[in-house]
Amino acid sequence: MPKVTAEHRESRKHEIAAAALRLFAQKGFQATSMADIIAESGLSAGAIYGHFKGKDELIHSAISDLLEVRLHGVEAAGTADPVAPGELLRTFLDGIETEVDDLGLLLQVWAQAALDVSSRESTDRIGSHLRRVLELYLVDWYERGLGMPAHEAERTAAAFASLYLGILQGYVIQNTIFESFDRDAYLDAASAVRPDFTLLA
């Protein structure tokens, strides 16, 4: 009686998903055919369908893999010293750019999230998590870095976490689409953002 290590089976799934993601970054989800994925993975149709019920499941699984990686990258963070928002953004982006080899892939994921509920829930979950982590860093910075009172630091951080997340998303879009995008200038501007606390009361 043969025994199958569940790990090996899982890693094969991730292998296929990784091959699929490479194509998704180039052609998008729908324009990537099963034949493409079969060729890129170096396997056969039957092999793929042994691991995934169909193309939809493969897409969702690939997206999950991608976002999960992102999530672990964020978890790994955490420092003793408060970090300035500008540096924080740079760290996040460095992480993303090493994990995701083509940032354009994120645009595909967001577009897909706009179309079906399941993708949207995954993306929402990871995005919200990312926002929370950002918020914690900001509280730390406003409190220990700028010397703000605790409850004021929390209020400001809560308000600005979404905004910084938006700035990150804007970076991804412009970096992918705009030919003459100046990453450093963008991040310099992001670093020069100061909350006007009087307006957040």
Partner DNA sequence: CAATAAAAAACGAACATTCTTTTTAGGAGC
Partner DNA sequence: GCTCCTAAAAAGAATGTTCGTTTTTTATTG
> Which residues contribute to the site for DNA (CB under 7 A)?
1-5, 8-9, 12, 32-35, 42-47, 49-51, 53-56
Crossing angle of helices 6-27 and 55-75, rounded to 10°: 100
Q: How far is the CB of 59 from DNA (least distance, A)?
A: 10
CA 193 to chain centre: 23
- Residue 141 DSSP class: I
Among residues 133, 130, 131, 137, which one has the least CA distance to residue 68? 130
Q: At residue 83, what is the residue type?
A: V
Name which of 52 and 160 has its Cβ closer to its own copies. Answer: 160
Kindly indicate which of the ranges 46-54, 64-72, 92-100, 163-171 contains the residues binding its own copies, using the contact rule CB under 8 A. Answer: 163-171
Q: Which of 49, 104, 118, 145 binds its own copies (CB under 8 A)?
A: 104
Q: At residue 98, what is the residue type?
A: T
Name which of 56 and 188 has its Cβ closer to DNA. Answer: 56
Window 181 to 200, contacts with its own copies (CB under 8 A): 181-182, 185-186, 188-197, 199-200
Name which of 32 and 156 has its Cβ closer to DNA. Answer: 32
The reply to whether 28 sits near its own copies by the rule CB under 8 A is yes
Q: What is the CA radius of gyration of the chain?
A: 20
Name which of 10 and 99 has its Cβ closer to its own copies. Answer: 99
Q: For residue 1, what are the CA distances in angstroms to 4, 193?
A: 10, 64
- Binding to its own copies by CB under 8 A, coded x per residue (else -) over 128-147, reads x-------------------
Q: Which of 113, 133, 134, 153 binds its own copies (CB under 8 A)?
A: 113
Q: Which of 39, 111, 136, 150 binds its own copies (CB under 8 A)?
A: 111
Question: What is d(CA 35, CA 79) in angstroms, rounded to the nearest whole number?
Answer: 46
Crossing angle of helices 150-177 and 183-191, rounded to 10°: 170
Question: What is d(CA 118, CA 58) in angstroms, rounded to the nearest whole number?
Answer: 13
CA 163 to chain centre: 16
Binding site for its own copies (CB under 8 A): 26-31, 104, 107-108, 110-115, 120, 123-124, 127-128, 159-160, 162-163, 165-171, 173-174, 176-182, 185-186, 188-197, 199-200
